[in-house]
Structure 1
Amino acid sequence: MGNSTDQPVHDAALHARRASSFGAAAAAYAEHRPDYPADGIRWALEPLGGKEKPKVLDLGAGTGKLTEGLLSLGFEVTAVEPDEAMLAELAGRYPAATALTGTAESIPLPDGAVDAVVVGQAFHWFDQQRALPEIARVLRPGGVLAALWNTDDLSVDWVAELQRVSRSDVSAPMPPQREEAPMPTHPLFGDFESTEVSHVQRRTAESLTATIGTQSHTLVISPQERAELLGRIADYLRGRPETAAGEFDLPIVTLVIRSVLR
């Protein structure tokens, strides 16, 4: 499942709990979260042109879902992640990347160190007033900032219903739509462009239930509520003809935004 229900909430304390909840599920996150489509990554970094082996920072890199795609396309990757458990998963899976502990608000790189900063499924957790100047600092002139989100394809009936079934007590009051993803404006960056790329993830009822179990709105609730929620999701998937038996394709829409440093 994409991450449509894993958006920030207005309660600051709950937002902080959700933002820091992933480390305890790092292994499951690495196993079950979807990757990012190569076409979306290429579009994100298209403004770099034909630059040979650009240096790219994967910021808020988690367990390396975006790092994997960047490496496969030939980029030189530095991954920065604040959670030690998540970073350990990344380092073990993708030794070709340089893995560093750090945050978007305090990036452990010198000025002008990279050609691009990319963010997968994490930009909404940043303190953007502090993060955007810090991102600009580590970018070279003409560098690119891009963010990607895997989101549920709500045009598909069973996926839209699954999102309703998957809601917990801490889910946002209304399911956020893709166009609500943050599109910041900042004097250091040009206008943000966006595109959407169709994507799929091969899942079973069990693995998709496990995927949803790595989302923050399922990680911060009580063990009893979590068990009830995941049981309800599994029952729903086993009862739908599209997902009841064996493997199926989960339809995803990947939203990509990009901007160039002024």
Structure 2
Amino acid sequence: MSTSPDPHSVSDRAASFTQGAEVYARVRPSYPAEAVSWLVPERSRVLDLAAGTGLLTRPLVDAGHDVVAVDPAPEMLAELATELPHVEAHQGTAESIPLDDDAVDVVVVGQAWHWFDAPRAAAEISRVLRPGGTLALCWNDRDERIDWVRRFGLILHDGDPLRARTGSRHEPPDLGPSFEPPETATFRWLHHLPTDHLRDLAGTRSYLLTLPEDEREALLERVDDLVVTHPDLAGATEVAMPYVTAAYRARRR
């Protein structure tokens, strides 16, 4: 007998992204080339860990890196394979990476470190990194200095019991004893998307994906209302969502 997902459960929230992988691939932002160049500045063998639908894999490939992708969700990997059929991809987790020891020069993690069992993941990443290798993490945070973006964020997290875990990244992550203290950089950029995709974008959040259908729909209707009533959005066919990419990189000790 199946049970409904629990928005209070980290494991249920992390697993929720198997729903609507096609929508995730279509509306979620990628990462700016400047951030990718900072994360991996030299031509490298790169593991994109928790690669999802390939939103970070694509710019890594475009930058000329030799990339292998790992993700726990076959639905997400299917989307990645459709867009990037020549990329080596495996099903696996951060705590059990299906690669040999010393297999890659860099491990990158986009928008996912907060879902990991950090000590286990750090040890496993250290195992697959070559001596002197780098762990590079990044998150896209909405720039909520802009009024409509702030209001959009308030809707997305209204009642979210894991808001502190899944919210904006203001402090460097604790990578444990396997890694040196991380370097930090930020990159501001704009993600252009049709205004009517804001509802779809909201619907890809783990909190909404795990809510009962009536509660989820109520939040999505508030997004619809924001789109038609806010003066910066009403009547617009396209919107530029401002993001700040928070990036971190640390050498393996």
Determine whether 1:26 maps to 2:21: yes
Contact 1:170 1:221 in 2 (8 A): no
Residue 12 of structure 1: how far off its partner (Å) = 9.7
Alignment RMSD, CA only? 1.8
Query: TM-score, normalized by length of structure 2?
Result: 0.92
- Alignment coverage as a number of residue pairs: 246
Please show how residues 15-54 of structure 1 align to structure 2 within 5 Å.
Answer: 15-46=10-41, 49=42, 53-54=43-44
Q: TM-score when scaled to structure 1?
A: 0.89
- Other-structure match for 1:5: none
Q: Percent identity?
A: 43
Partner of 1:205: 195
Q: Which residue of 2 aligns with 1:250?
A: 241
Residues in 1 aligned to 2:101 and 2:167: alpha-carbon distance in whole angstroms? 35
Aligned-pair CA distance for 1:204: 2.7
Query: For 2:37, what is the secondary structure of its paired residue?
Result: helix
Gaps of 5+ in 2: 1-5
User: 1:150, 1:254 within 8 Å by CA — same for their partners in 2?
Assistant: yes
CA shift digits 1:66-114 (9 cap, x unpaired): 0011011011110000011111111111112101000000100001110
User: How big is the shift at 1:171?
Assistant: 4.5
Conserved? CA contact 2:70–2:92, under 8 Å: yes
Q: Distance in 2 between matches of 1:87 and 1:176?
A: 25
Report the Cα distance in structure 1 between the residues aligned to 2:168 and 2:94, rounded to whole angstroms: 24
Q: Which moved more, 1:154-163 or 1:135-144?
A: 154-163
Distance in 2, matches of 1:145 and 1:25, equals: 29
- State the partner residue of 1:55: 45
Distance 2:201 2:167 in 1: 19
Go from structure 1 to structure 2 and tell me whether the alpha carbon gap of 1:193 and 1:12 turns closer, same or farther (over 3 Å shift).
farther
Gaps of at least 5 residues in structure 1 are 1-10
Equivalent of residue 220 in structure 1, options 184, 199, 210: 210
Instruction: Tell me: CA distance 1:74–1:242, structure 2 relative to 1, closer, same or farther (3 Å).
Output: same
Aligned AA (2:147): D
Q: Is the 8 A contact 1:190 1:261 kept in 2?
A: yes
Using the TM superposition, give the Cα deviation of residue 13 of structure 1 relative to its aligned residue in structure 2, in angstroms: 5.8
Contact 1:56 1:114 in 2 (8 A): yes
Output the CA distance in 2 between the equivalents of 1:136 and 1:20: 24
Q: CA deviation at 1:229?
A: 0.8
Matched, 1:72 2:62: yes
SS, match of residue 195 in structure 1: strand
Name the counterpart of 1:90.
80
Task: Tell me if the contact between 1:204 and 1:243 (Cα under 8 Å) persists in the aligned partners.
Answer: no
Give 2:178's aligned residue: 188
**1-side partners of 2:35 and 2:64: how far apart?**
15
1:6 aligns to what? none
Give the whole-Å Cα distance in 2 for the aligned partners of 1:76 and 1:16: 31
For 1:216 and 1:85, locate their aligned partners in 2 and report how far apart those are by CA, in whole Å. 16
Q: Corresponding residue for 2:104?
A: 114
Residue of 47, 59, 71 corresponding to 1:81: 71
CA distance in 1, matches of 2:14, 2:98: 20
- Give the drift of 1:218: 0.6
What SS does the corresponding residue of 2:189 show, helix, strand or coil? strand
